[in-house]
Structure 1
Amino acid sequence: MTWFRPLAALIALFWAAPLVAAQEAPDLLSRWVEEPRAAYPVGEAELEDFEFRARPIVVFADGPGDPQFERQVAFLAERIDELTARDVIVLIDTDPDARSPIRRALRPRGFAVILIGKDGRIAQRKPAPFTGRELIHAIDKLPLRQQEIRDANRPFDRPGAQAMPFSRTE
């Protein structure tokens, strides 16, 4: 039975460590809501975390010194305000050995830029840098983005519309 205590302590440590880490650091989506203009490392994030909330642009490279990676970051920085208005979260993965969940799901080979729609589907995949203009054009062609544009242009008090009955319970 003396071997059981160290084993139980080890199991408890493995169970508690992720819980403590989750309590200490806010999740990626919360951080993005606070600062939507930043680029974030993919870490342990999953693509499902962003469905119907954000459009991930995932930039993969074999290292932070990759010239294509540096060009892509510059292209994104030039248009960050326009990308932010389109609910884009920029995710960076420059460590192929880390095997993050997003890297395992998308399986890039070397440098890659992948645009994911709000519906979770891959909208564009490219082994070379996207210009900011190309990305914005690709986003604006997505069906959910088209719906957002239509909804933004629709007047609230259109002819024939009736207000929903509202009752207050106090």
Structure 2
Amino acid sequence: MNYKLIIISLLAVVALMGAPMASAKPSFLTSFNQHYETAGTRLDSCTTCHNGEAINPYGRAYLGSGRDFTSIENLDSDGDGFTNLAEIKALNFPGNPDDHPQTTSEIIPETPVNVTEPSVNETPEQPTTEVPVSNATPEQPTTEVPDNATEEQESPGFEAIPVVVGLLAVVCLMRRDIRK
């Protein structure tokens, strides 16, 4: 009976050895990071194309395009009013309608100022030239990163813990079996 338990334990350990492979980054994410230079950013995660286990609207558009990022750049996959490319450039998830670039609409307009040169009694008056002047630099639209930024994935070593525990259990069973 102990041999059956040892065989079952070994099969369980072999099955658990495949668990780390399931958490590995797919080649699609690597291609995405190379194409948009997003490695190490919050977009360097499976959440770019997935909502948990399910594929999000951006992931469906990507698969529907024959896996061509460029062909879906001008689409708004999540329907939030921003193109996929605009969201990616702002480091927002293009498949999440709640995560989109935040822009400020307050732009200080430039005001024209009349500049005239002083005239002398003997010369005719110089023409007036309008030169736009602004005391403040106009604000550019800014992108705010929400507080719910995706954290980096943990080290893949954590998936090996069940395998090590399983192997230790098998060794203990075998040693116990030898003592009898």
Output the TM-score relative to the length of structure 1. Answer: 0.31
Q: Which has the larger radius of gyration?
A: 2
The structure in which a higher percent of residues are strand is 1
Output the TM-score relative to the length of structure 2. Answer: 0.30
